[in-house]
């Protein structure tokens, strides 16, 4: 802090002995030590008071933030939010129809018929269009008939 070395301390001690005298020097050093102790205590107290005030201010800010969050959570209306979402979707579809856009309809799912009553064909005799020879096409089959 002060960058005082041993030579400087020796000079200060010599001047203190000359000015104060060897008889009163111990009393003076004791009162100086007590004064420095009081100053340190006061600075520590000031610093702790300042830190405490800072912590209280942070807590007040945190409490205010928490209060806002609780109020937002208290205003939560799931049914109202759902209703609004549905109304927005409906309005969006109406606006799309008004602007000339056709609303997209889901395509029906075609179910594949499973032939439960038909007997299975023998593997050596294929049936259906695959049974026709490769040289004959369906058009040629119609001409034969």
Q: What is the 3-state secondary structure (H, E, C) of the chain?
A: CCCCCHHHHHHHHHHHHHHHCCCCHHHHHHHHHHHHHHHHHHHHHHHHHHHHHHHHHHHHHHHHHHHHHHHHHHCCCHHHHHHHHHHHHHHHHHHHHHCCCCCCCCCCCCCCCCCCCCCCCCCCCCCHHHHCCCCCCHHHHHHHC
Per-residue pLDDT tens over the stretch 49-94: 999 999 998 888 888 888 888 887 777 777 777 888 888 888 887 7
pTM of the model: 0.38
Supply the mean pLDDT for the chain: 77
């Amino acid at each position: 802090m002060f960058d005082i070395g041993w030579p400087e301390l020796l000079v200060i001690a010599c001047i203190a002995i000359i000015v104060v005298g060897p008889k009163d020097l111990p009393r003076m050093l004791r009162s100086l030590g007590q004064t420095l102790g009081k100053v340190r205590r006061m600075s520590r107290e000031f610093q702790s008071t300042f830190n405490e005030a800072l912590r209280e201010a942070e807590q007040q800010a945190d409490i205010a933030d928490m209060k806002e969050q609780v109020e937002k959570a208290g205003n939560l209306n799931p049914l109202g939010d759902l209703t609004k979402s549905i109304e927005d979707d409906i309005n969006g579809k109406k606006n799309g129809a008004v602007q000339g856009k056709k609303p997209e309809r889901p395509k029906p799912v075609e179910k594949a018929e499973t032939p439960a009553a038909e007997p299975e064909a023998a593997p050596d005799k294929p049936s259906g269009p695959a049974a026709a020879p490769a040289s004959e096409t369906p058009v040629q089959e119609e001409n034969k008939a």
